[in-house]
Structure 1
Amino acid sequence: MKFENSKYSKLLEYKKIEFPFGTIYTTKHFVVSELNEGIHVDYTIVSELISKFSEYIRKGIKIGYIANRINSYSFEPQLWLDFNNEYDFMIASAIVSYSDFSYLNSSLEKHFFQKSLKRCHSLDEAIEWMTNLDEFKKETKLK
């Protein structure tokens, strides 16, 4: 399910940012990515995303990240290690998988991510988990 088709797009204030490689939705506490079919997520794409959120990083804002994998694409797991070494603004991550293969890939990525990474079977599960993290629970109330 796409974020814009979910109940959360009506419950949460968000901003939609479109890139050539996919769409990002930013909320107060987390970001949802929906990347295009067949792309390969490499350092160039991650760098473009980081530059878009550099103001948040400089301000010390902590956020969560949800990869809503509605499309099939490849991802370099090593990027999680590089990312963790360079940046410290992400509290946790959730990967929403819609196929067994995608779920297996997220299991591999979990070994590379140094913070909490939850593998989910639905966008609802990912958002509920993210909004119930202690860091956000005090401020986020969903109806």
Structure 2
Amino acid sequence: MRFEESKYFDLVPHSKIEFSFGKFYLCKNFVISELHEGVHFDWDKILEVIGALLDYYGDGLEIAYISNRVESYSIEPQLWHRFHKEFGFIVAVATVAYNDFGYINASIEKQFAKISLKRCDDLSEALSWIKHLNEFSQN
């Protein structure tokens, strides 16, 4: 389910940023991404998103990332390693997979991530997990 179609859209304060390749919802401690069908989420697109996140949150940000995979897209799993080496401000990732293919892809990405990556069946599970992370228990 898309974030805008969920009950959380009106409950969770957020700002929305749209790129040619997808939508990003910036919340207090986390970001929700929904990439468009068939997109290849490469390093250039990642840098575009990072620029927007730094503009919004400022330096010293520490956030979680929810990949709400309502559409099928691709990413090179090893980009997680590069991201953590160069930036590292994402403390945890929840991937919402709506089919077996999405779950398998999330499992592959999990092998490359140096942080906690949880595979979830729905947005509710992802948001609950993020809310209970130790990194954000004081917020």
Tell whether the structures are fold-level matches, with TM greater than 0.5: yes
**What is the rounded CA distance, in whole Å, between the counterparts of 1:28 and 1:35 in structure 2?**
20
Partner of 2:29: 29
String of CA shifts for 1:8-66, please: whole Å, max 9, x gaps: 11211100111000000000000000000001111111111111122467520210000
Partner of 1:132: 132
Partner of 1:92: 92
- Secondary structure, aligned partner of 1:104: helix
Letter in 1 for 2:59: K
- Secondary structure, aligned partner of 2:108: helix
**8 Å contact kept, 1:64–1:93:** yes
Instruction: Point out 4+ residue stretches in structure 1 off by more than 4 angstroms.
Output: none
- Secondary structure, aligned partner of 2:119: strand
RMSD: 1.2
Q: List runs of 5+ in structure 2 lacking aligned partners.
A: none
Partner of 1:77: 77
* Superposition TM-score, scaled by structure 1 size: 0.93
- The Cα of 1:73 is off from its aligned counterpart by 0.6
**8 Å contact kept, 1:64–1:90:** yes
Letter in 1 for 2:84: N
Fraction of identical pairs, as percent = 49
* CA spacing shift, 1:136–1:111, aligned 2, 3 Å: same
Q: How does 1:117-128 map to 2 (within 5 A)?
A: 117-128=117-128
Partner of 1:52: 52
- The Cα of 1:5 is off from its aligned counterpart by 1.4
Q: List runs of 5+ in structure 1 lacking aligned partners.
A: none
Letter in 2 for 1:80: W
- Secondary structure, aligned partner of 1:28: coil
Letter in 2 for 1:103: Y
**8 Å contact kept, 2:54–2:61:** no
**8 Å contact kept, 1:57–1:89:** no
Letter in 1 for 2:77: P
Partner of 1:9: 9
* Superposition TM-score, scaled by structure 2 size: 0.95
